[in-house]
Each structure stands twice: as structure tokens, then as C-alpha cells.
């Protein structure tokens, strides 16, 4: 709706390839902002073009249709997160590491609502736009590898219950962080808890860590009561 001129900087470049690449980036960046701010149908190609500092027709030349542009934006958002996850540096202690993953995830969602919004929009559209994307593009395997490693290490250390499924654990952890942020507005209105206030965020994170720890740890490792 307001159309900040995002990346228009740095065009007028050298080779064709370079120029094309920069234009593409500018459009993608602008599109992400517009989609996040206004949703798939709310964002207009006009505003995206303007925000990217290019012509409307050029957006079409590069992305053919609005949905395909959305798809590219979505894929970008996925990759960005998956790449960060793959490069996280965890503590040696597996319990601490698990809590660090909780913390990272909640904070990432809080600071990058784009990801949540884009994925939320996509779910409202029943996954139509994501379905045609090659699985590898989403780099999901990187994430699985990280979680699997974490669980194995904790299990070997005798801290975690054996046989935990990494996908189950991830979905659990992710659900807790996800809803805290994606449902923030209705939760605030109905329960009076506003996670966008730092104190509230930390309180919620503490609960999430607690839930996850109690789920992953052998009971005898938990403090009584």
C-alpha cells in the first residue's frame, strides 16, 4: 500500500547477465514486502513494480504471472531460513542445544514475520503455489539433518529418550513457535498476551523450552515436580 522503493539501487550495470540478475533481485525483494504487507491478492503488480523501481511489464517479463512471482518469493523465504538453520552453532550440551533451537526458531519467526505470513498465505491457498516446486529447492533435508543430529547426540549422552522421531519433534517445536507469532493478534485480543512485547516473548519462550525439554528428556532426568 505504501510502496517503499526497495532495491532500485544498483541497476545500470555491466553485462546483460548482471543487469538481469539485479533487476530480478530488486523485483523479488519488492514483491516479498508487498506480499507480506498485503497478501497474495492484496499485493498488486503495479505496486510491486513501483517498489522495485521498474516497469510493470518488466515484472511480467521476468516472472510471467503473479502466482509464479509469489512462488519464487516463497521459495526464497524457505531457503533463507533453511540455510540459517543448517549453519547454526549449538552448545555441546544437547539439552542446551535443544533450547537454543527453540530460541532461534521463536526469534527468527518474531523478527522475520515475512516467512510466517508467506507460508500462512500459501496454506490458505492450499499449497497450490508450492506444490510445483522441486523438493530440493526447499532444502528441507538440511533441517532434518540438523534435528536428527541433535537427537542422536542427546540420546547417546543418555539425556534424551531413545527413539524420538526428528520430524515429530520438529513439528512440535515449530508448532509452538509458529502459533505464538502467527496467531499473535487474535491471541492478544482474546487472551491479552502480546508476544510483540519482549517480556511476553521471553515468558513464552520459557514455556516452549519447558515443553520441549519435558518431551525430549528421559523423565528421570527431569527435576522432581
Partner DNA sequence: GATGAATGAGGATTCATTCAT
Partner DNA sequence: AATGAATGAATCCTCATTCAT
Task: By CB under 8 A, name the binding residues for a second copy.
Answer: 39, 41-42, 78, 117, 119-124, 126-127, 130-131, 133, 135, 138, 140, 161-162, 167-168, 171-172, 174-176, 178-180, 182-191, 193, 204, 207-208, 210-211, 214-215, 218-220, 222-225
Check: CB of residue 146 under 8 Å from CB of residue 170. no
Supply the minimum distance, in Å, between the C-beta of residue 52 and DNA: 9
Distance CA(205)–CA(54), nearest Å, equals 42
Check: CB of residue 119 under 8 Å from CB of residue 55. no
Q: What phi and psi, each to the nearest 5 degrees, are found at residue 217? A: -75, 150
**Binding characters for DNA, 21-40, by CB under 7 A (x = yes):** --x-----------------
Q: Which does 58 bind (CB under 5 to 8 A by kind): a second copy, DNA, none?
A: DNA
16 binds DNA (CB under 7 A): yes
In the structure grid, which three cell numbers stand for residue 37, read together? 504487507
SS3 call for 121: helix
Among 3, 25, 37, 44, binds DNA (CB under 7 A): 44
Q: Which residues contact 23 (CB under 8 A, 6 or more apart)?
A: 11, 52, 54, 58, 62
Binding site for DNA (CB under 7 A): 11, 15-16, 19-20, 23, 41, 43-47, 54-58, 60-62, 65-67
Amino acid at each position: 500500500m505504501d510502496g517503499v522503493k526497495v532495491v532500485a539501487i544498483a541497476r545500470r550495470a555491466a553485462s546483460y547477465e548482471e543487469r538481469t540478475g539485479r533487476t530480478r533481485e530488486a523485483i523479488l525483494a519488492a514483491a516479498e514486502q508487498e506480499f507480506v504487507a498485503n497478501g497474495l491478492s492484496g499485493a498488486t503488480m503495479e505496486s510491486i513494480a513501483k517498489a522495485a523501481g521498474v516497469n510493470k511489464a518488466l515484472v511480467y517479463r521476468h516472472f510471467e504471472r503473479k502466482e509464479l512471482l509469489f512462488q519464487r518469493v516463497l521459495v526464497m523465504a524457505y531457503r533463507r531460513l533453511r540455510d540459517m538453520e543448517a549453519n547454526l552453532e549449538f552448545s555441546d550440551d544437547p539439552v542446551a542445544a535443544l533450547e537454543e533451537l527453540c530460541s532461534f526458531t521463536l526469534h527468527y519467526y518474531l523478527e522475520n514475520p515475512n516467512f510466517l505470513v508467506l507460508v500462512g498465505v500459501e496454506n490458505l491457498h492450499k499449497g497450490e503455489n508450492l506444490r510445483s516446486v522441486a523438493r530440493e529447492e526447499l532444502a528441507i533435508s538440511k533441517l532434518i539433518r540438523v534435528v536428527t543430529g541433535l537427537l542422536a547426540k542427546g540420546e547417546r549422552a543418555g539425556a534424551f529418550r531413545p527413539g524420538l522421531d526428528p520430524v515429530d519433534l520438529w513439528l512440535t517445536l515449530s508448532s509452538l513457535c509458529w502459533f505464538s507469532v502467527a496467531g499473535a493478534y487474535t491471541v492478544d485480543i482474546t487472551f491479552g498476551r502480546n508476544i510483540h512485547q519482549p517480556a511476553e516473548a521471553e515468558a513464552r519462550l520459557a514455556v516452549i523450552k519447558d515443553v520441549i525439554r519435558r518431551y525430549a528428556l528421559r523423565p528421570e532426568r527431569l527435576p522432581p515436580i
